[in-house]
Amino acid sequence: MKPVRSALALALIFCISNGLAPDASAQSADAAAADRFVAGINQEIRDNYVEISAAQWVSETYINGDTEVLVAKANERALSRLSANVEKSKQFRTVAGIAPATQRSIDLLRLQTAMPAPKDPAKLAELTQIASRLNAAYGSGKSCTDESKPETCRNLDQLSKVLAENRDWDADLEAWTAWHNVARDMRKDYARFAELVNEGAREMDYANAGDMWRASYDMSAADFRKETDRLWSQVEPLYKDLQCYARHKLEQQYPGKLAKDGTIPAHITGNMWAQDWAALYPLLQPYPGVSNLDVDAALKEKNYTPETMIRRAEDFYTSIGFPSLPKSFYEKSQLKRPADRDVVCHASAWDLNLEGDVRIKMCININEEDFRTIYHELGHIYYYLAYNKLPVLFQTGAHDGFHEAVGDTIQLNLTPGYLAEVGLAGASKPSKEAMLNAQMKQALEKVAFLPFGKLIDEWRWGVFDGSIKPDGYNAAWWALKRKYQGVAPTVARSEADFDPGAKYHVPGNTPYMRYFLAHILQFQFQRELCKAAGYSGPLHECSIYGNKAAGAKFWAMLEKGASQPWQSTLKELTGKGEMDASAILDYFAPLHSWLKQQNKGKRCGWN
């Protein structure tokens, strides 16, 4: 096939270079060549997929110098193939009559990686080596009081546990600072990394890597930026009322310690990145002690293990008509932190061969947070299984926010009623006070996340377009944290620090706007699935557990993958071809009304 495609390309170049337009028969032939080109690309990706996915899996589950080399070389080969294929695809840009599915495949080919590589082999190798180093530095990161004594070292899990479980100002500040200081050495590598991916993006005809990332949403990069701003404007009032309430409660907990500018100190949110405030629930619950939702205690009382937690989540998916997980899932997944080696514990879902070898990688603790995370990760797994039959270039989410929203939607169904049904809660119909407590608990996870979900890529887009320069990385990071979250550091942070690198997705080069979009879409999805299930009550009380009509509608969406623009896929599910944050406002309406009452007469907002 390659010689035929090369001959057709040469014929087209010859006609254009002589000022002639190809005749109708030539156009037809070239359209057919485009079909063959796409078929060949799909097969090439499939043939090489196992090598790169296995190397990446091993590099995250067995972190050492050898696996770092293996994944760097595998990434290098994969990116080299991609660059060559993107270059070859340019021959079809002026060809008329290409089938819509073929044209979409060619367009998606350019977006197969978030790490566009330069054509120069030396720079390509440099990029993959830096990417591998950054990933390994994060996964093996530790804070040690004495480097010669391993027992004095603490990893991210241990430092995060301090923030989650300890309300001591000084202890939390020490743990927060210890982890953020781990990222300092990443700065130089990251600056060079940004230069190299920008060069790769320009060679693919994008202005920079940020423009390339935004081009993956079936709209222009500029329009996508406006879209994220529009969605944020819908949810910002809800977030600001939550931030105001939380800040005044924290002032009571830490009298005289909070700055007077209206911000919340980053280290006292219970989370290393202030992205999730769930650990503050005991301080912030509207009606202390009024709840039947102590899932942590219930999991321990019923002797749940990592595997039984997964099987409980699998049961939800199968109850709505999804298939059982393959046996290999339980045999090959990483469910616990190994005692004998460093691993990346950040939860993730994997499709190792595009044919059903699906796995998750987690270091599961027996608590509610990880219990809910499992439902999220299985959402990715079932998306993989649903679209596995499609051509490889269509085997991804309608857009990346869809992929994140699937499992999050199922999380919304873990209502008191559902938890009572599976034996993890008391009464299935909570009182008004208990309902508000449950809403607060969920808002501290879902609503508190929204500005964080937006700001990470706002920062990276600035890095990629040059408006944020290396000598201002940290200042820009904290300016965005303040602007969107109303969060600020208590201790001075300077350009000797690289606090963005303390968050996995920055050294791991994972685009993050997907999570912001997912936090919008999951409520939009849930509202429609509840309608499909015949439910007509308050949205926050709905669970589709056991409803196969809702499950069938959801599965039909998953099966489409990226085979059509996301607007069409969303319209098929919801009747509306645009993302809409009104569902999140519907869901949290009782809590929002309560927050407004609590904030009356109090100073809200931040400088």
Active site residues: 346-347, 376-377, 380, 404, 505, 515
* Nearest C-alpha neighbor of 314 from the set 406, 389, 398, 378: 378
- Cα 517-523-526 angle, rounded to 5 deg: 130
Q: Cα(457)–Cα(401) distance, rounded to whole angstroms?
A: 13
Q: Cα(402)–Cα(386) distance, rounded to whole angstroms?
A: 13
Query: How many secondary structure helices (H) and strands (E) does the chain include?
Result: 24, 6
Tokens describing residue 259: 């700055």
CA distances from 464 to 37, 207, 210, 212, 455 (A): 31, 9, 6, 10, 14
In this structure, the chain runs to a length of: 607
* Nearest C-alpha neighbor of 405 from the set 584, 591, 220, 221: 584
Q: Cα(179)–Cα(189) distance, rounded to whole angstroms?
A: 18
Q: Cα(214)–Cα(131) distance, rounded to whole angstroms?
A: 21
Secondary structure element (H or E) that encloses residue 139, with its range:
helix 121-139
User: Is residue 418 a contact partner of residue 585, using CB atoms and an 8 Å limit?
Assistant: no
Q: Which residues of 426-460 are buried (b: 16+ CB within 10 A; e: fewer)?
A: eeeebeeebbbbbbbbbbbbbbbbbbbbbbbbbbb
Position of tokens 């057919």?
A: 32
The rounded radius of gyration (Å) of the Cα atoms in the chain is 25
Contacts 24+ apart (CB under 8 A), 172-179: 172/267, 172/268, 173/267, 173/490, 173/491, 175/267, 176/266, 176/267, 176/272, 177/267, 177/491, 178/143, 178/154, 179/141, 179/143, 179/272, 179/502
CA–centroid distance for 323 within its chain: 24
Residue 491: phi and psi, rounded to 5, are -100, 150
Q: Is 576 helix (H, G, I), strand (E, B) or coil?
A: coil
Residue 41: phi and psi, rounded to 5, are -65, -45
Handedness of CA 520, 526, 531, 535 (dihedral sign): negative
Detail the DSSP E strand segments found in 274-331.
none
Q: Whole-angstrom distance between the N-terminal and C-terminal Cα of the chain?
A: 62
Amino acid identity of residue 579, one-letter, is: M
* Nearest C-alpha neighbor of 587 from the set 515, 522, 517: 522
* Nearest C-alpha neighbor of 442 from the set 423, 416, 404, 422: 416
Secondary structure element (H or E) that encloses residue 350, with its range:
strand 348-351
Q: Is 605 helix (H, G, I), strand (E, B) or coil?
A: coil
